[in-house]
Chain A
Amino acid sequence: MGTLKFVGTRLAGAVLVLFLVALSTYAVFYLVPADPAIQACGRPCTDQNLALAREFMGYGDPWWRQFLDFAGGLFTGRVFGSGPTAIRCEAPCFGYSFAQNTEVLALIGERLPVTASLAVGAAVLWLVTGVGAGVVAALRRGTAWDRVALASSVAGVSAPVYLVGLLGILLFGFTLDVVPVGGYVPFTTSPVDWAWRLALPWAVLAFSHAAVYTRLTRAQMLDTLGEDYIRTARAKGLTETEVVGKHALRNVLLPVVTVFGVDLGTLLGGAVITERVFGLPGLGGLLIEAVGQRDLPLLLGCTLFAAFLVVTANVVVDLCYGALDPRARLA
């Protein structure tokens, strides 16, 4: 019963957060002195054309009214314009992008597999290398291993992804010519090509992210190894592998899981820079396009979706705590 209540409260909280994100996106967009209809006005832009464009796209109403229309569309769908050129967006309608002539949900659906491929692959890579390097660095504290791990993590934290991406392309793509420099092939078309084309983006993203995990794991591991229960475990005669793998690592992973959940959630919402550098048609590109074209429905869709992922990641992390740490379990 306790667990159910816990999950219920968390889910209700998540829905409330999403509602507030949507509301504030609308409000912010309308506080900024910019007219979203200007892109559809054409050139020369006359007052009359501007008014027509505004009316067609539903930007003529006050922002709170537009927000209510948006919220209503989730349940009842929406229709823009009238007659043979009317645009229908079936429920649940997350908005319609006039710039891209498509429902926002469909656009996100098209792009999600690309971003998910990029994010999940990179996450596996950085989790394994980052945590691995952190453990090794902690166990071999003060040795060359430790110094190499720390030095590369400083490089990873400080180098911007854009730079690392370009250098990666220059070195591995052009100079050594061992990997393709961009583009995306769906997993369903060819799993080998899919992985081959994503190899460099994965490595670049992982390089930047792993750094944090290395430092976190190392510090946490050093702390943990000094704890009484580790001494007890060693005193019981357990092998070093058992002590580290079973007893210490489990404790170390608690903060790692917290950071990882949020990182992955954020990344799934769009790895803007990495996608751009490698020409990957993911959610990040969609977001850039939405901002550039003042495409409010798409911007709102991308923002909400990103918020949804972060919120979900947090809920999942909370639930994982229980699995990892018996102290966090509900009675």
Chain B
Amino acid sequence: MTRSRLAVAAALAGALAVTACGANEQPQGGGQATATRGGTLRVLTEGQTVNFDPAKSGSLAVTSLALVHRRLTAWHNKPGEQAGVVPDLADVGKTDDGGRTWTFTLQEGVKFSDGTPITSADVKWGVERSFSPAFSGGLGYHKQLLEGGADYRGPFEGAELKGVETPDSRTVRFRLVRPYGDWPWVVSTPAFAPVPRGKGAEPDYAEHPVASGPYQLAKYQKGVEAKLTRNPHWDQKTDQVRAGLPDEVVFQLGQDASVVSQRLTADSGDDKSAFGASFVSAAQLAQLSGNPSAKQRVVTSKSGALAYLALNTEKAPLDNPKVREAFQYAVDKTSFQIASAGTAQLAGDVATTLITEGITGRKKFDLFPTPPAGDPEKAKRLLAEAGFPDGLPTLDFLVTKTNNAPEKAQALQASLARAGIKTTIRTLDGDAYTEETSVSPTAEFDLTLASWQPDFPSANANIQPLFASSEIGGGGYNLSRYRNPEVDRLIDAAQATVDPAEAGAKWAAIDELVLRDSPVVPLIYTRNSFLHGSKVAGLFIADFPAYPNYLQVGLTP
């Protein structure tokens, strides 16, 4: 899932969703029967590699990596229900000092695939290993939070990380540099999968990892396949999020998306037991609509990544909040939906808030009520009030060349022009785009299109990466280069809040506060669709994340 997790502009904005039913209904693969134990499940994957090294992984807690590795906690992941933290290898954690120290107790009887018991030392080793420069690249939300983490370089030369303590073989205690209410979510990220103490120094650990989940990696051939077979030491009774139904799971790598779609549509032989890991594109969905059998085998998310127009708040005239507010009215979200996927239905619902569906604290509001097609006259009035009665000087609208972004930008360009906002679209290749929008300390662009899906189901992961001033440049995702000391202070306060409901309310307030400043225009919650073969059963997409749950899927006999 490395590609799907990276949400800025290019990676997620692309292929969208469909079905022929109402916008709020969510067909969960109408053709699916009840899954039984056994069989070989195939996952058809575009990527040439699939990474099973927890330290280097950015995989969501419900997809590929979680078949092989358990983490301290897991995600409650059911359609129509909010995401929540549930126990995995350990309980959901306790804090008695307001979120600065967190203690987790491992379940009894959990074992590695080699039969040795999983102890707190193995969890500590796994976390420490993620700090080694040789194994960087995964999710690192813990790295700045753990005490001593700032200068720690991994355990392989004997140094220990001060912030992780193991008072006994079943207890792990984390000491953080500041109170952090979402720590139970952070320990659901890949780096909190255990690695047997002393192991994993070799660069290709990803190809023979020691498993803790229902499957172990039996065979890995780059560019060809990764074959998972049962881990005999995994005990279903200790695991409430993994069903472990198929006997084998085979990832077929390097598959062309169009061919995958054709194969799954044809639904013959082994492909009956397969599903595609990539989004079904709008064009493919249009083809499928004429095929009732295949259409039944499409699973579509109810919601998804937030697509938004980012306004560079550092550059005049966009440094003026009044000018930015005009954009909230000028943009035609309907034309964006059509440019994205042909219809509003296929693209996803219009967005008016930052926090995405399925996440605790999400409050629906609309600070700038307009019809979805926008209100150019109101936008003009706002611009006149801001001192631009004749419209704005021509703005630089930067987008990537991939994923339909230029077409989407053209749709927005036309709608902005109605309000007297002239733009020039500039396209860049993925790397150069990332460099200018995310890495460079200064940015030339005025507007850009982006998309974001949180890495874990907390509003914190919706908002902090996009709007904290610490995330400007240097690889951060604050593309609007939005800087508001009040928002920074409130983000810190919300992050320090332990009670999820209380924290959720704080995040909702920040959502509103940020949008009052209009650093971005929320566009849509992008839908994703996936196609599966006729023997696949139990493949569903919960409200968050907009990806299928790999852990519960099985096959019919």
Contacts and interface: CB of A to CB of B under 8 A. Distances in A.
Interface of A: 32-35, 38-50, 52-53, 55-56, 81, 83-87, 99-102, 107, 110-111, 166, 169-170, 174, 177, 181-182, 184, 276-279, 281, 285-286, 288-289, 294
Given A35-B439, A111-B223, A285-B48, A43 B259 contact: no
Given A84-B156, A166-B259, 16 more contacts: A32-B432, A33-B432, A40-B136, A46-B474, A50-B474, A53-B137, A83-B156, A101-B206, A181-B263, A182-B255, A184-B224, A276-B256, A277-B258, A281-B224, A281-B254, A286-B48
A289 B51 CA distance: 14
Contacts of B475: 38, 41, 44-47, 49-50
Nearest to B150: A48
A288 B58 CA distance: 21
B117 interface: no
B135, B224, B254 — most chain A CB neighbours (10 Å) = B254
Contacts of A182: 255, 259
16 contacts: A38-B434, A38-B439, A38-B475, A40-B136, A43-B455, A44-B140, A44-B141, A44-B471, A46-B474, A49-B136, A50-B474, A107-B222, A169-B259, A276-B254, A279-B256, A289-B223
Contacts of B97: none
Interface residues of B, number: 56
A45 B224 CA distance: 31
Interface in B192-208: 201, 203-204, 206-207
Given A44-B465, A285-B254, A279 B259 contact: yes
Contacts of A52: 133, 136, 153
A182 B258 CA distance: 13
Contact of A101 (B58, B204, B431): B204
B192 to A, nearest CB: 14
B262 A33 contact: no
Contact of B137 (A40, A279, A288): A40
B141, B221, B259, B263 — most chain A CB neighbours (10 Å) = B259
A99 to B, nearest CB: 7
A177 B475 CA distance: 49
Nearest to A53: B136
Contacts of B224: 184, 281
B432 A84 contact: no
Nearest to B198: A84
Contacts of B95: none
A44 B142 CA distance: 10
Given A42-B140, A279-B259, A81 B266 contact: no
B199 to A, nearest CB: 11
A288 B141 CA distance: 30
Nearest to A35: B439
B222 A100 contact: yes
A166 B258 contact: yes
A181 B255 CA distance: 11
B139 interface: yes
B269 to A, nearest CB: 10
A216 to B, nearest CB: 31
Contact of A286 (B223, B262, B476): B223
Contacts of B223: 110-111, 281, 285-286, 289
Contacts of B258: 166, 277
A52 B152 CA distance: 11
Given A84-B156, A100-B222, A289-B49, A41 B137 contact: yes
A56 B131 CA distance: 13
Main secondary structure of the interface of B (DSSP, over half): loop
B259 A32 contact: no
Contacts of A278: 259
B87 interface: no
A42 B258 CA distance: 30
B268 interface: yes
A34 B435 contact: yes
A113 to B, nearest CB: 12
B48 A85 contact: no
Interface in B47-101: 47-49, 58
A42 B431 contact: no
A101 B235 CA distance: 32
A46 B58 contact: no
Contact of B266 (A50, A174, A288): A174
Contact of B435 (A33, A47, A181, A184): A33
Nearest to B154: A85
A289 B3 CA distance: 12
A47 B475 CA distance: 8
A184 B221 CA distance: 12
Contact of A34 (B48, B253, B434, B465): B434
Given A285-B48, A285-B254, A42 B203 contact: no
Contacts of A111: 223
Nearest to A184: B224
A101 B207 contact: yes
A83 B465 CA distance: 34
A110 B49 CA distance: 14
B256 A85 contact: no
Given A33-B435, A47-B474, A289 B203 contact: no
A289 B223 CA distance: 9
B252 interface: yes
Nearest to A55: B133
B436 interface: yes
Given A38-B434, A44-B465, A45-B476, A85 B134 contact: yes
B171 interface: no
B6, B58, B439 — most chain A CB neighbours (10 Å) = B439
B435 to A, nearest CB: 5
Interface in B119-148: 132-141, 143-144
A48 B151 CA distance: 9
B262 A56 contact: no
B310 to A, nearest CB: 17
Nearest to B207: A101
B134 A279 contact: no
Interface string B228-266: 000000000000000000000000111110110011001
B203 A101 contact: yes
B203 to A, nearest CB: 5
A39 B137 contact: yes
A279 B254 contact: yes
A281 B207 CA distance: 17
A49 B259 contact: no
Nearest to A96: B203
A112 to B, nearest CB: 12
A41 B6 CA distance: 12
The 6 closest A-B pairs by CB, nearest first: A45-B475, A34-B431, A281-B223, A85-B134, A56-B133, A289-B48
Interface in B253-293: 253-256, 258-259, 262-263, 266, 268
Given A38-B434, A46-B475, A48-B150, A102 B140 contact: no
A137 B8 CA distance: 55
Contacts of B476: 44-45
Nearest to B144: A46
A83 B157 contact: yes
